[in-house]
Structure 1
Amino acid sequence: MDSTDGGFKARKEEIDDLIDKLGRAAKAGLNGSGGAHYGGGQAEPEEKTEPLVLFDAADIGDIDKLPPTQFILGDNFAKGYVSSIIATGGTGKTAVRIAQALSIVTGKPLTGEELFLQCKVLFVCFEDSIDQLKKRIGAAMRHYGIKDEDVRGRLLYAVPGRKSGKLVEADLKGRPRVGALKEYLEKAIAETGAEFICLDPLKKLHGVGENDNTGMDEVIGVLADIAIEMDVAIDAPQHARKNMSKDAAEAGSADQARGASSTVDAMRFVKTLMKMTPKEAQQFAISEGVRKLYVRTDTAKLNLVPPSREATWFKLTGVALANATASYGRSDNIVVAERWQPPSLWLGLDASMQERILSEIEKGMDDGEKYSIAANVGKRCVSNAFAKHDATQSKADARLIVKEFIKGGLLREDIYENGDRKKVKGLVTGPFRHMKIDLSGVPGHTSDGAEDEA
């Protein structure tokens, strides 16, 4: 009985061991459509881990001697960090990033953003063909008058497609693990000496579900490890979701990003790129037909978004190539991004014009009503006072200017009773509007304003 039981147990252990070996062999050889492939049919390697390294806060020392955060261009990219720009398709995110890359390489202020570090750039595109990327970079160089010698050995690019694998991919159990692309990127960075790396777009970098918070956290974590260990800035532009809520569609909203929330949460510098809205086009006197050629960038990790006039704007323009052939008679027109500044708020408002507008506001309307700074007040809108003197400011800009008048004490808001016997706010003379300053005690002046004799 005992011997029989012992024999049975031994045979069961052998069978279990055989099943285990067959299972591991099947996993190692699995490289078809039904599973992930991790390097030529080899077994999945164990993940390397390290124990915690502890430090004592008392040993921090003089923090003024620690190196500052090394930004590269504006507040877009910094060494040791991962950044991104979120945009819907066709908004111009790649065109903007190429213009910024050329600024970094050449040291020229092409985008109007402050350059902190001129350095080499590695631009890796996972979306375009090699010819298309050549046309994009070449068109931007032509547009900005950049010569080959200005970028030789400093702006490197690659179009690996799917041949270089993924940065992170899912294992047989759906868990994220590092793929072959990480090693290839690290080797390219080391060989080129690039300090700014743009990986466009984020979605094509990895093989995990973009809605998987754990997986996407691993993707950004791997990028952050590369950025820190190799002391480089890494940027991974990403697509915006197609069906956004009203709040998410606002400039500067991090909720625009497609997929898991951990993607944006794990990044340090994130911006949105959005086309000019009809309201902004009206404010800047831009026609509806060309409105979508103007795009704005805003920081997506701040609660407060700057007004339209203070945002960073770009204009998308076309560079016509002469690449038509005998069999295909149409040449390409490549989109290039250039910095655009909104018209001055005070355009055409000299001192004389400002005086006439202030007097018009003080006088009020013919029916006794007073002008208002509010937006939806019909004929009482203060922009009508501007229009009476042929000022070209839009309604929005007129209200911004009046806000400056109020700050300066030239105007103020007061409660009055309108024709319907309702108490409403209206604009009246401010405390400093007609103030005369006594200069009698100031050296070089007399009480009547005449200069003292020397």
Structure 2
Amino acid sequence: MRDFSDMAAQLAEHRAEHPVHSARLPTPFIWKDPSSLPRRPWIYGRHLLRNQVAVTVAPGGVGKSSLTIVEGLAMVSERELLGEWMAKGLNVWLYNLEDPRDEMNLRITAAMQHHGVRPEEVEGRLFVDTGRERELCTAVQSRDGVMIVKPEIDELAREINDRKIDVLIVDPFVSSHRAGENDNVAIDLIAKEWARLADQCNCAIELVHHTRKTNGTEASTEDSRGGSALLAAARSGRVLNRMTADEKEQAGIAPDDLTTYFTVTRDKSNLAPVGKRTWRRMVSVELANGESVGVAEVWDWPDTFDGFDSKDLLAVQNAIDGKQPRYSDQAGIEWAGVIVAEVLGLDPTKDKRRIKKMIEAWLQSGALAKCQVNDGNRRPRPCLEVGEWATQ
């Protein structure tokens, strides 16, 4: 165990380097007119905020790096590429600690091509570096504990200030230090150093992090790998989750569709309401050099009646009228959904859930109605008939 006097000396040195307030404590509160109080300096949606650290957590291979690339392009081009609001005139620094520059160039170029971002829109505003060319190490751990690498932090601060960086994205967080990720004391010290850097440079810092293994269950930010201190120090946290097979079926996506669909859920926010989940998907973009590169884009959960209108309902009613098909989807070819599928050009097996939702919606609206019809053994079976006829 370290000597107490040594710890006291280090604490005094730390306070000298990071003064909190020059005045004597405690400081009295002075009430001000609420209308005169400054608003929170949001930068991107309700996730990135000046002077604060945000965390994005995701399992491997979902698309977190591609997502942050498109978000960076949105911020520098001042266009809502993913439907999120952003402040104007932002400079963004992407610091990827895993991939080589050639790979980053492919991903950024493919994202620009897919989203129609012109080179002049990013020139002088988007900065890209990789850990392959210059490693980033903000802290090291020894037998005496964790130590912040102050020259590295100072160098980051100089670059952020010189380039007028508004958003720094570090991907992944685990590669930015040499401390035990399960050591909460160490992670707390490192996370708070990132927060001090954000405050010192008046910028937002995004730390991209991995989840631990969840054995197929949906992850939350609480499932981030290692100590919980990282999330505790962040003012905003969001988690990415891959679409499940059940969700694919509900959305009407073919089982053999290999596209990656994922949700983005802001489930940890100290300064804004927790957000609802939004959907994204990875699309393959072909570049002129023959490479195919994944790019993140907006994807909306399909509405039950997308592509259909009142005349389609009228066609279904005409097909059902007088037949009294069975209500239960267990009735095989006698199920009403078989008629619906035939009229609307759907597959009664692959689109079964969607057809069932349509039938329930038409029952609620009165366009269809339930009736009881005796089968061959005189047992009553629930069937469907036309209710209120649709008008075009």
Common fold: TM-score over 0.5: yes
- The question of whether the paired residues in 1 share the 8 Å contact of 2:261 and 2:279 is answered with no
Shift of 1:101: 0.6
Contact 1:86 1:237 in 2 (8 A): yes
Which residue of structure 1 lines up, in the alignment, with residue 162 of structure 2? 191
Alignment equivalent of 1:279, drawn from 228, 246, 262: 246
Asked if the contact 1:348/1:391 (under 8 Å) is kept, the reply is no
- What is the distance in 1 between the residues matched to 2:343 and 2:167? 52
CA offset at residue 187 of structure 1? 0.9
Match of 1:316 among 279, 283, 287: 283
Distance 1:169 1:401, change over 3 A: farther
Q: Which moved further from structure 2: 163-172 or 216-225?
A: 163-172
Equivalent in the alignment of 2:34: 63
Q: How many residues align?
A: 370
Which string of whole-angstrom CA distances, capped at 9 and with x for unpartnered residues, describes residues 106-133 of structure 1? 1122223233434111111211223322
Deviation at 1:98, TM superposition (A): 0.8
Q: How much does 1:343 deviate?
A: 3.7
Report the Cα offset of residue 216 of structure 1. Answer: 1.5
* Partner SS state of residue 105, structure 1: helix
Please report the TM-score for the alignment, with normalisation by the length of structure 1: 0.67
2:321 is the counterpart of 1:351:
no
C-alpha separation in 2, matches of 1:313 and 1:145: 18
Give the deviation of 1:181 after TM superposition. Answer: 2.5
* Residue-by-residue CA offset, 1:203-236 (whole Å, 9 max, x unaligned): 1111111111222222221122222232211111
Aligned mate of 2:296, from 327, 337, 348: 337
Q: Alpha carbons of 1:388 and 1:317: their partners in 2 closer, same or farther (altered >3 Å)? A: closer
Show the counterpart of 2:207.
Answer: 236
Percent of pairs with identical residues: 23
1:130 counterpart residue number: 101
Contact 1:361–1:427 (CA<8 Å) still a contact in 2? no
Report the structure, 1 or 2, having the larger strand content. 2
> Shift in Å at residue 178 of structure 1?
4.7
Q: Cα distance, 1:348 vs. partner? A: 3.4
Structure 2 unaligned runs (5+)? none
| 1:185 match: secondary structure | helix
Tell me what 2:179 maps to. Answer: 208
Report the secondary structure of 1:291's partner residue.
coil
Greater shift, 395-404 or 345-354, is seen at 395-404
CA separation of 1:332/1:371 partners in 2, compared to 1, >3 Å: closer, same or farther? closer
* Structure 1 residues 335 and 56: alpha-carbon distance in aligned structure 2, compared to 1, 3 A threshold: same
* 1:345-404 Cα deviation digits (max 9, x unpaired): 3123312333566899999965xx7559xxxx7769985674364364934444555676
Q: Give the structure 1 partner of residue 111 of structure 2.
A: 140
How far did 1:183 drift? Answer: 1.3
Please give the secondary structure, in 1, of the residue aligned with 2:268. coil
Q: Of 48, 54, 68, which residue of structure 1 is paired with 2:26?
A: 54
Q: Note the alpha carbon deviations across 1:275-310, whole angstroms, 9 max, x for none.
A: 33222322333333433433332223389985xxx7
Whole-Å separation in 1 of the counterparts to 2:321 and 2:230: 53
- Aligned counterpart in structure 1 of residue 234 of structure 2, from 258, 262, 267: 267
2:346 corresponds to 1:387 = no
Change (3 A) 1:175 1:387: same
Find the partner of 2:140 among 169, 175, 193.
Answer: 169
1:419-430 pair list within 5 angstroms = none
Cα distance change, pair 434–44 in 1 and its aligned pair in 2 (3 A): closer
Specify whether residues 160 and 361 from structure 1 end up closer, same or farther in structure 2 by C-alpha distance, changes over 3 A only: same
Q: Please, which of 88, 105, 117 is the counterpart of residue 88 of structure 2? A: 117
In 2, are the aligned partners of 1:94 and 1:200 still within 8 Å (CA)? yes
RMSD: 4.3
The structural deviation recorded for 1:411 is 8.3
Going from structure 1 to structure 2, the CA distance change for 1:358 and 1:277 (only over 3 Å counts) comes to farther
Q: Secondary structure at the match of 2:85?
A: coil
Aligned to 1:112, the other structure's residue is in SS state coil
Give structure 1 stretches of 5+ with no counterpart. 1-19, 25-42, 323-330, 436-454
1:81 aligns with 2:40: no
Equivalent-residue separation in structure 2 for 1:381 and 1:185 (angstroms): 66
- Whether 1:106 and 2:77 are equivalent positions in the alignment is yes
Offset at residue 197 of structure 1 (A): 1.1
Cα 1:316–1:212 shift into 2, 3 Å: farther
Give a deviation string over 1:217-276, Cα, whole Å, max 9, x none: 2222112222223221111111222x3145xx31x6224421122222332222222333
Distance of aligned partners of 1:130 and 1:428 in 2 relative to their CA distance in 1, 3 Å threshold: same
Residue 123 of structure 2 is aligned to residue 152 of structure 1: yes
Aligned amino acid, residue 243 of structure 2: M
Deviation at 1:406, TM superposition (A): 7.4
Segment of structure 1 superposing worse, 97-106 or 339-348: 339-348
CA distance in 2, matches of 1:360, 1:371: 18
Would the aligned equivalents of 1:321 and 1:334 in 2 still touch at CA under 8 Å? no
Q: Report the Cα distance in structure 1 between the residues aligned to 2:384 and 2:147, rounded to whole angstroms.
A: 65
Are 2:67 and 2:296, in contact at CA under 8 Å, matched by a contact in 1? yes
User: Which entry has the higher C-alpha Rg, 1 or 2?
Assistant: 1
Structure 2 counterpart of 1:244, which letter?
T
